[in-house]
Structure 1
């Protein structure tokens, strides 16, 4: 427990920058993004599920699909603050998780970050109800677990920084993709549209909110991770 809660040495600055470049390389090219986006979908649907539980809703199932879409089903009042917060949690989950991870890395708690991520993935796995979803969450959780158990501090640090950079950078792109789909008449039942129906606030304003959260998290995370 002491090792988990303790601090670890900060990596060299070039490693921090190199992991940021590696994460950006997984986000920008479309072929790689089609694969790596699965991890952002895990965070997205996990965000819906976690906030549903926190607000007192009954979480029934989470499904993750091979086209990187997902679906989280919860039961409770169809309107009200709990439903609004649950709907708003998807597109903001990856950036906020990245920001939280950056704060932990900024305080040199690499091991704690890895174990918290593993615990969240295991908890999410219990609620996943389709084979592809189980496979992706199990694979991601196993990767975190193996790095935590079988590698030394240097490898753990590189992996943790790469993962946090990926959440921060990868958390920005989905809102722009949703905006493009809506511009061409698609995604009519997106989170932004559901929030518009729940709050009577236009969907474009909710899109602006998603952009604001993801970009603010990226800026904040950058300040935690990069030491001038």
Structure 2
């Protein structure tokens, strides 16, 4: 690939694309909400939230100087991130807290890129993040899940029309924003039933002395704030776009 081709590719990735029609933004939002609230769909789509959740744990572990040994994604939509370092202290707290905070923040970041009409850049950044995660995956199901997700983003970004790319990007952003709320509610439901003893919130309670319910509240407030701000950025301001 010569310099001119590289420059053209760079311009394609970093340049702005036309904003999609308002009906497409609403349609993808409705589809994402359905994928979260419909139990049969959620059993499958929740894997995407798990990828972001475990990726958040992994990134926080690396940023705080812990040794990240691997990430596992399971077919029941659960996951496990293993890291070594000080068993207590700020690094361990940030690593434990990052799981439920990562998906809504990632969704908010996606919404910010889409508000700036950087659709292609969003798709390629997602591919880069999935590749970075892939090298840390330590089980077959997790490897397959990340490969399939990355392949979907690549195919859409390389072969999809502008409208297909926009629809895919908006659908993913809406899904992260909506999909970040339900796992927190499920977490508290499990805790009320006495099944969440090893959850992130309860680990944080043991590490900090702050009650687990306070951590669940933090996770939920983060998800709801990101949803509200992200929706404001995603929804078109001009009624004529509908």
| Aligned: 1:104 with 2:141 | no
- 2:93 corresponds, among 84, 102, 108, to 84
| Aligned: 1:211 with 2:233 | no
Shift of 1:227: 2.1
| Aligned: 1:180 with 2:189 | yes
Q: Distance in 2 between matches of 1:76 and 1:224?
A: 39
What is aligned with 2:26? 17
Q: Distance in 1 between matches of 2:11 and 2:38?
A: 41
What is aligned with 2:154? 145
What secondary structure sits across from 2:187 in the alignment? helix
TM-score (norm 2): 0.93
Moved over 4 A (4+): none
- CA offsets per residue over residues 178-221 of structure 1, 9 Å max, x none? 00001111011000001111111000000000000000000010
| Aligned: 1:48 with 2:31 | no
What is aligned with 1:5? 14
What is aligned with 1:117? 126
Shift of 1:3: 1.4
What secondary structure sits across from 2:69 in the alignment? strand
| Aligned: 1:222 with 2:215 | no
What is aligned with 1:37? 46
| Aligned: 1:196 with 2:205 | yes
- 1:74 corresponds, among 62, 66, 83, to 83
- CA offsets per residue over residues 96-144 of structure 1, 9 Å max, x none? 1000000000000001100000000011010000011111111111101
Task: Give the structure with higher Rg (CA).
Answer: 2
Shift of 1:152: 1.9
Q: Distance in 2 between matches of 1:131 and 1:70?
A: 13
Q: CA RMSD in A?
A: 0.7
Shift of 1:151: 1.0
- CA offsets per residue over residues 58-114 of structure 1, 9 Å max, x none? 110000001111000011111111111110010111111000000000000001100
Q: Distance in 2 between matches of 1:78 and 1:145?
A: 39
Unaligned runs of 5+ in 1: none
